[in-house]
Structure 1
């Protein structure tokens, strides 16, 4: 099971768009997503404030602003 973090801000149109585009990935059995609203945590707001939405695995940012299916697929082939 691979767990990805989706950092977003409520009301962000780019965040909503990326989450929608992640629909096919969300239906996979081997993936889990943690949705984290950065506006609820000052340290996350500082870290990701200008980058949202951010799709990450731990400290590794896979993509931000827009979903990059090629980068995400490459990560899923080799998540380490």
Structure 2
């Protein structure tokens, strides 16, 4: 079973696009999948993450926001294998 990470994102956010691109090698390395969720499509998500996007999550665990923390994300993914 592959790990599903969630990227809370906005369509017009360049940081969001940058994080999605930067995640691609880690997703491939760990066989993880990425679900991209538009923060503006859900009022609850917008209230919680509005100024923090992009936000990378695994379930309820926030791995990073604004920029990909590759070392932390790699360590986290290695630990849940």
Q: TM-score, normalised on structure 1?
A: 0.91
**Counterpart in the other structure of 1:21:** 22
Q: Deviations over 1:55-77 (max 9, x none)?
A: 10011000110001100011011
**Counterpart in the other structure of 1:32:** 33
Larger fraction in helix: 2
CA RMSD after TM alignment: 1.6
In 1, the alpha carbon distance for the partners of 2:23 and 2:29 equals: 10
**Offset, 1:29:** 6.3
In 2, the alpha carbon distance for the partners of 1:55 and 1:3 equals: 11
Q: TM-score, normalised on structure 2?
A: 0.90
Q: Write out the 4+ residue segments of structure 1 that deviate beyond 6 Å after TM superposition.
A: none
Task: Work out whether 1:48 is the aligned partner of 2:56.
Answer: no
Runs of at least 5 residues in structure 2 that lack an aligned partner in the other structure: none
